[in-house]
Amino acid sequence: MIRVVRTPDGEILIDHSGKTPGRGAYICRRMECAVAAAKGRRIDRALKTPAPESLYEELKALCAGSDADAKGLPS
C-alpha cells in the first residue's frame, strides 16, 4: 500500500516512511488502482482537499514500477 498524507501545513505528499503526521489515505500498488484514483479524484475526497495532478502522476509512476517488478520486468 502507498500512503498519501495531508500534513498539518496543508501539503499533500506521498508518505514513504508511513509516519508523517497528518490525515492519510491509502492506495494499492497496482496500476489499475492509480488510474481509478486519478479518474475519480479519490485522493481529493479522502484527504478533503484538492490534490495536485502531479501527485496522481507520481502515484502512477510508483505503480508502474511495482507492476514491472511483479512481472519480473525491468522498471
- Provide the pLDDT for residue 75: 44
Q: Hey, which bits of 1-75 come out as E strands?
A: 2-6, 12-15, 23-27
- Provide the pLDDT for residue 70: 61
Give residue 1's Cα distance to chain centre: 9
- Provide the pLDDT for residue 72: 57
Strands 12-15 and 2-6: antiparallel
Is residue 70 classed as helix, strand or coil in its secondary structure? helix
Q: Is the pTM value of this prediction over 0.85?
A: no
**In the chain, which residues have pLDDT < 70?**
67-75
Q: Which domains does the chain have, with CATH numbers?
A: 2-70 (3.30.1230.10)
- Provide the pLDDT for residue 66: 77
CA–CA distance from 56 to each of 35, 43, 59, 69 (Å)? 8, 9, 5, 20
- Pairwise CA distance, residues 31 & 21, whole Å: 26
